Chain A
Amino acid sequence: MRVVGKPLPKVDVRAKVTGSTLYADDLVLPDMLFCKLLRSPHPYARIKRVDVRGALEVEGVVAAITGDDLPIKYGILPVTQDEHALENEKVRYVGDPVAAVAAYDEETAALACERIVVEYEVLHPVTSIEEALSEPVDEPIHDYGGPANIHKMAALAFGDLESGFAQADHIREDVFFYEGNTHLPMEEHSAIASYVDGKLTLWSSTQTPHYVHRAVSKVMGLPMSAVRIVATPHGGGFGGKTDPFSHEMVVCKLAMVTGKPVKCTLTREEVFYAHRGRHPVLMWVRTGVKRDGKITAMHFKTALDGGAYGSYGVATTFYTGALQTATYDIPAYRFEGARVFTNKAPCGPKRGHGTPQPRFALELHLDKIAEDLGLDPVEVRRRNYVKPNTTTVNWLRITSCGLEEITNRVIQASGYHRRRRVEGHGMGFAVASYLSGAGLPIYWNKLPHSECQLKLDRGGVTAYCGATDIGQGSDTVIATVVAEELGLWPSDIRLVTGDTGLAPVDLGSYSSRVTFMAGNAALDAARKLRDLLVEVAAESMGCSPGEVEVGDGKIGALSFEETAQLAQERYGAISTAGSYRPPDLAGPYKGSGVGPSPAYSYSAAVVDLDADSKTGIVQVNKVWLAHDIGRSINPISVRGQVEGGVYMGLGEALMEEQAYRKALHKQPSMLDYKSLTFVDMPEVETILVETNDPEGPYGAKEVGQGPLLPVVPAVASAIHDALGVWVDQVPITPDKVLKALDAKVKGEAPRFGPKSFPDIPYPQCIKVDPPHVATQAV
Chain B
Amino acid sequence: MLRLKPFKYLRPSTVEEAASLAAELNGEAMMVAGGTDLVPKLKRRQMEPSALIGIGHLEELKSVDHLSDGGVSIGAAVTLSKVVGDGELLQRYPGYVRAASLVSSPPLRNLGTIGGNLLVDTRCNYYDMTYEWRQAVGFCLKKDGDICRVAPSSPRCWAVSSSDTAPVAIALDASVVLVGPEGRREVPVSSLYQDDGIRYTTKQPDEVVAFLHFPPKDGWRSSYVKLRRRGSIDFPIGGAAAALRLQDGLVTEARIVLSGVASHPVIAEEAASCLIGRHLDDDAITEASEKAAKPAKPLDNTDLAYTWRKRMVKHLVSQAITEAAAPGR
Contacts of B304 in A (CB 8 A): 733-735
A149 to B130, CA, bound (A): 31
- A 662-680 contacts with B by CB, 8 A: 662, 664-669, 671-672, 674, 676-680
> Is B232 a contact partner of A667 (Cβ separation < 8 A)?
no
Least Cβ–Cβ distance between A695 and chain B, in angstroms? 42
Cβ contacts A643-672/B at 8 Å (1 or 0 each): 000000000000100000110111111011
Q: Does A12 contact B (CB under 8 A)?
A: no
Separation of A265 and B311 alpha carbons in the complex (Å)? 43
Q: Does B8 sit within 8 A of A, measured CB to CB?
A: no
Q: How far is the CA of A662 from the CA of B305 in the complex (A)?
A: 17
Indicate if B287 sits at the interface (CB-CB under 8 A): no
In the complex with contacts A110-B3, A674-B303, A676-B230, A666-B125 CB distance below 8 A: yes
Cβ A738 vs Cβ B1 within 8 A:
no
Contact A614 B315 (CB under 8 A): yes
In the complex, B57 has a CB within 8 A of chain A: no
- Say yes or no: is B147 at the interface (Cβ < 8 Å to chain A): no
Residue of B nearest to A738 (CB): B308
Bound together, the chains give a CA A94 to CA B136 distance in angstroms of 8
Which B residues are in CB contact (< 8 Å) with A677? 105, 230-233
Whether B50 is near chain A, meaning CB under 8 Å from some CB there, is no
B307 touches A735 (CB 8 A): yes
Chain A: minimal CB distance from B307 (Å)? 7
User: In the assembly, what is the distance between CA of A616 and CA of B312, in Å?
Assistant: 10
Interface string of A711-745 (1 = CB under 8 A from B): 00000000000000000000001110010000000
Which of B136, B305, B311 is A664 in contact with, Cβ under 8 Å?
B136
Over the window 123-152 of chain B, the binary record of Cβ atoms lying under 8 Å from chain A Cβ atoms (1 yes, 0 no) is 001001110110111000000000000000
A106 proximal to B (CB < 8 A): yes
- In A582-624, which residues have CB < 8 Å from any B CB? 614-616
B229 within 8 Å of A (CB atoms): yes
Docked complex Cα distance between A735 and B303 (Å): 12
Q: Are B232 and A679 in contact (CB under 8 A)?
A: yes
Cβ contacts under 8 Å, B233 to chain A:
671, 677
Whether B308 lies near A734 (C-beta < 8 A) is yes
On whether the beta carbons of A668 and B231 are closer than 8 Å, the reply is no
Residues of chain B contacted by A615 (CB below 8 angstroms): 312, 315
Distance, CA A682 to CA B254, complexed state (A): 38
In the complex, what residues of A have CB within 8 A of residue B130's CB? 267, 269
Residues of B within 8 A of A735 (CB): 304-305, 307-308
Q: Is A39 an interface residue (CB 8 A)?
A: yes
Q: Could you tell me if A267 and B1 are in contact, using CB atoms closer than 8 angstroms?
A: yes
C-alpha gap A654/B129 in the complex (Å): 24
What residues of chain A lie closer than 8 Å to B230, measured between beta carbons? 655, 674, 676-677, 679-680
Least CB distance from A51 to B in Å reads 18
Check B136–A667 contact: CB distance below 8 A: no
> Across the interface, do A678 and B308 meet the contact criterion of CB distance under 8 Å?
no
Tell me which residues from 289 to 311 in chain B have a Cβ below 8 Å from any Cβ of chain A: 303-305, 307-308, 311
A488 to B304, CA, bound (A): 54
Within 8 A of B (CB), among A474-499: none
Nearest-neighbor residue (CB-CB) of A678 within chain B: B232
Give the number of residues in B that approach A within 8 Å (Cβ atoms): 27
Q: Which residues of A contact B303 (CB under 8 A)?
A: 672, 674
Q: How far apart sit A41 and B133, CA to CA, in the bound complex (Å)?
A: 8
**Do B136 and A267 have beta carbons less than 8 Å apart?**
no
Taken together as a complex, chains A and B put the C-alpha atoms of A42 and B135 apart, in Å, by: 10
Residue A668 contacts which of B1, B133, B229, B232 (CB distance < 8 angstroms)? B133
Q: Tell me, yes or no, whether A404 is within 8 Å of chain B by CB.
A: no
User: How far does the alpha carbon of A265 sit from the alpha carbon of B234 in the complex, in Å?
Assistant: 27
B-contacting residues, A240-264, CB 8 Å: none
Kindly supply a per-residue 1/0 record for chain A positions 186-215, scoring 1 wherever the CB is within 8 Å of any chain B CB and 0 otherwise: 001000000000000000000000000000
The A-contacting residues of B in range 23-80, CB under 8 angstroms, are: none
B308 and chain A: residue at smallest CB distance: A735
B229: nearest chain-A partner, CB-CB: A674
Say yes or no: A267 contacts B2, CB within 8 Å. yes
Judged by a CB distance under 8 angstroms, whether A135 is at the interface is no
Say how far B3's CB is from chain A's closest CB, in angstroms: 5
Complex CA distance for A342 and B130, rounded to whole angstroms: 24
Residues of B within 8 A of A106 (CB): 1, 3
B99-140, CB under 8 A of A: which get 1 and which 0?
000000100000000000000000001001110110111000
Chain A residue at minimum C-beta to C-beta distance from B105: A677
From A612, which residue of chain B is reached at the shortest CB distance? B315
Cβ of B263 to closest chain A Cβ, rounded Å: 19
Q: Residues 548-568 of chain A: 1 if any B CB is under 8 Å from the residue's CB, otherwise 0? A: 000000000000000000000
Q: Are B3 and A679 in contact (CB under 8 A)?
A: no
- Chain A residues with CB below 8 A from B128, complex form: 669, 671-672
Q: Is the CB of A664 within 8 A of B137?
A: yes
- Cα A655 to Cα B303 in complex, Å, equals 11
Contact check: which of B3, B135, B234, B311 meets A41 at CB < 8 Å?
A: B135
- Cα-based distance from A337 to B103 in the complex (angstroms): 46
* C-alpha spacing A188/B234, complex, angstroms: 22
Are the CB atoms of B305 and A265 closer together than 8 Å? no
Determine the residue in chain A with the shortest Cβ distance to B314: A614
Q: Which residues in B have their C-beta under 8 angstroms from that of A107?
A: 3
The distance in angstroms between the C-alpha atoms of A611 and B299, with both chains bound, is 25
B162 to chain A, nearest CB (A): 12
A668 to B, closest residue via Cβ: B133
Enumerate B128-184 residues with CB–CB distance to A below 8 Å: 128-130, 132-133, 135-137
Cα distance, A674 to B230, chains bound together (Å):
8
Q: How far is the CA of A679 from the CA of B231 in the complex (A)?
A: 6
CA gap between A719 and B305 in the complex, in Å: 20
Chain A, 254-283, contact with B by CB distance < 8 Å: what is the 0/1 string? 000000000001010100000000000000
Which residue of chain B has its CB nearest to the CB of A679?
B231
In the complex, what distance in Å separates the CA atom of A678 from the CA atom of B230? Answer: 10
In chain B, residues 213-267, which have Cβ atoms closer than 8 Å to a Cβ of chain A? Answer: 229-234
B234: A residues at CB distance < 8 A: 671, 674
Closest to A108 in B: B3
Task: Give, as a whole number of angstroms, the nearest-CB distance from A361 to chain B.
Answer: 23
Interface residues of A in 27-77 (CB under 8 A from B): 39, 41-42
Determine the distance from Cα of A614 to Cα of B133 in the docked complex, in whole angstroms: 36
B127 to chain A, nearest CB (A): 12
Cβ–Cβ < 8 Å partners of A678 in chain B: 232
Listed by A's residue number, 16 A-B pairs whose Cβ atoms lie within 8 Å are A107-B3, A265-B1, A267-B2, A655-B229, A664-B133, A664-B137, A666-B125, A671-B128, A671-B234, A672-B128, A677-B230, A677-B233, A678-B232, A680-B231, A733-B305, A735-B304
Q: A265-B1, A679-B232 are in contact. List 11 more A-B contacts (CB 8 A).
A: A41-B136, A106-B3, A110-B3, A188-B1, A616-B308, A661-B137, A671-B234, A672-B303, A680-B230, A734-B308, A735-B307
